[in-house]
Amino acid sequence: VGKYMEARREYEKAIELNKDYAEAYYNLGTLLMSRPFLLLDDAIKQFDKAIELNPNYAKAYNNRGMTYTYLGDFEKARKDLETALKLSPDNKVFKDNLEYCSRMEDVNKVILESKEGEKKEAGSAKPK
């Protein structure tokens, strides 16, 4: 954890020194989306800033898309992952991440449908 905290301080210092340094925002976002932090909303804010500074920053779109995937916001995730792939069409990691997002969305739908089915069964089992 100590090295992560040190890295976080260094990225924050780099941003303080140069508010237009997209790479520092990207690196801080990447750090925040990983363990031990898992500060996903904060990570998204960093990726937002990196993309604002560099609208062609494919890796920032990819990581923001994966963060949205972890949060279960598949529509935003897919949009970002597709943008990353458009900017870097030969990037296998980006392709794999888009496929992963689609699989997670499918799994999420199955879980939600299963829960709805359980609710209906529980409702019909109540005595009248």
Question: Does position 127 have pLDDT exceeding 70, yes or no?
Answer: no
CATH number of the structural domain spanning residue 20: 1.25.40.10
Q: What is the 3-state secondary structure (H, E, C) of 27-94?
A: HHHHHHCCCCCCCHHHHHHHHHHHHHHCCCCHHHHHHHHHHHHHHCCHHHHHHHHHHHHHHCCCCHHH
Domain count, the chain: 1
Tens of pLDDT, residues 80-125: 999 999 999 999 999 999 999 999 999 999 998 888 777 777 777 6
Domain that holds residue 31: 2-124
- In the prediction, which pLDDT does 55 show? 99
Neighbouring residues of 55: CB distance < 8 A, sequence distance ≥ 6 = none
Tens of pLDDT, residues 45-94: 999 999 999 999 999 999 999 999 999 999 999 999 999 999 999 999 99
Residue type, 112: L
CA dihedral 6, 7, 9, 15 (to 10 degrees): 160
